[in-house]
């Protein structure tokens, strides 16, 4: 399966994505932008699940996202955010105009070198780049087992932080933070969330039904989830902060 096909799998699922995908802890936004700045761009912004945390941290918030369906949800939720359809490799914004660029759960989909060149171009000298990803907690046996159902063929989540190399062209690595948090989630919403993950989106109907049956079997068998309709899901958010050099 081509990476581009997987990246495009999000094109049509704006509302389900927004309803079921996890958000981010406010501490993740504070890690990247500790004090109020003039302007920030959220790149690969999707439906705005991370963008919404930036409103308190910048006077001007811009979102760039290739999927029109995702951006429609963002526009409805966050009318004060400037929303632009587009990709990271060609950002329709002028040079040296932004204090910070953030990329939540999306950097691994970008064509790395042209995207880095574009992010460096739109940032002011010394501006901040923050890359972040949510991860499952390795100590949570049932969530880990469900991840293995989703990711034997593709590695949407497991390969993610690998794309945050300490050396990104045009940037100096500043620091990494891992933020632990948890989410109370209904079993039905947990299953529905998996249906918004690229490997489920691109699977044919029969394979998808089989994958869902495997998730159900894991939840029925694990002592922490068996017979429960609501779970406490531990999450980790990895944040990588860089400075434009």
Ligand X SMILES: C[S@@+](CC[C@H](N)C(=O)[O-])C[C@H]1O[C@@H](n2cnc3c(N)ncnc32)[C@H](O)[C@@H]1O
> Which stretches of the chain bind ligand X, using CB under 6 A?
7, 10, 21, 43-46, 49-50, 65-67, 70, 87-89, 104-106, 109-110
**Shortest spacing between CB 195 and ligand X, in angstroms:** 14
Q: How near is the Cβ of 226 to ligand X at its closest, in Å?
A: 30
Q: In this complex, which beta carbon is closest to ligand X, that of residue 39 or of residue 160? A: 160
Least distance between ligand X and beta carbon 115 (Å): 7
Closest CB 231 distance from ligand X, rounded Å? 21
Tokens of 98: 């932004």
Q: Kindly tell me which of 64 and 211 has the beta carbon lying closer to ligand X.
A: 64
Question: Which residue in the shown chain puts its C-beta closest to ligand X?
Answer: 46
Phi, psi of 137 (to 5 degrees): -80, 125
Question: Smaller CB distance to ligand X: residue 21 or 60?
Answer: 21
CB nearer ligand X, residue 45 or residue 154: 45
Q: Which is nearer to ligand X, 109 or 200 (CB)?
A: 109
The region, left, alpha or beta by phi > 0 then psi within -120 to 50, assigned to residue 46 is: left
Q: What is the 3-state secondary structure (H, E, C) of the chain?
A: CCHHHHHHCCCCCHHHHHHHCCCCCHHHHHHHCCCCEEEEEEECCCCCCCHHHHCCCEEEEEEEECCHHHHHHHHHHCCCCEEEECCCCCCCCCCCCEEEEEEECCHHHCCHHHHHHHHHHHEEEEEEEEEEEEEECCCCHHHHHHHHHHCCCCCCCCCCHHHCCCCECCEEEEEEEEEEEEEEEEHHHHHHHHCCCHHHHCCCHHHHHHHHHHHHHHHHHCCCCCCCCEEEEEEEEEEEEEEEC
Residue 21 or 176 with smaller CB distance to ligand X: 21
Kindly state the smallest distance separating residue 1's Cβ from ligand X, in Å: 15
What's the min distance (Å) between Cβ of 38 and ligand X?
A: 22
């Amino acid at each position: 399966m081509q990476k581009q096909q997987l990246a495009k799998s999000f094109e049509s699922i704006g509302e389900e994505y927004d309803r079921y995908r996890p958000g981010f802890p406010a501490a993740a936004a504070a890690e990247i932008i500790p004090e109020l700045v003039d302007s920030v761009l959220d790149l690969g912004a999707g439906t705005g699940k991370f963008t919404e945390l930036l409103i308190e941290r910048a006077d001007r918030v811009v979102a760039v996202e290739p999927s029109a369906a995702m951006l429609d949800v963002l526009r409805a939720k966050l009318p004060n955010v400037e929303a632009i359809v587009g990709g990271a490799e060609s950002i329709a914004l002028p040079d040296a105009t932004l204090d910070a660029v953030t990329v939540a759960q999306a950097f691994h989909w970008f064509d790395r070198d042209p995207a880095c060149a574009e992010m460096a171009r739109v940032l002011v000298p010394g501006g901040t780049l923050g890359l972040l990803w949510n991860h499952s907690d390795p100590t949570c046996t049932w969530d880990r087992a469900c991840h293995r159902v989703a990711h034997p063929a593709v590695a949407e989540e497991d390969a993610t932080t690998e794309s945050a190399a300490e050396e990104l062209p045009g940037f100096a690595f500043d620091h990494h933070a891992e933020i632990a948090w948890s989410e109370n989630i209904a079993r039905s919403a947990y299953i529905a969330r998996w249906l918004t993950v690229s490997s489920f989106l691109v699977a044919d109907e029969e394979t998808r039904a089989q994958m869902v049956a495997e998730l159900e079997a894991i939840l029925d068998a694990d002592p922490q989830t068996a017979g429960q309709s609501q779970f406490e899901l531990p999450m980790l958010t990895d944040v990588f902060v860089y400075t434009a050099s």
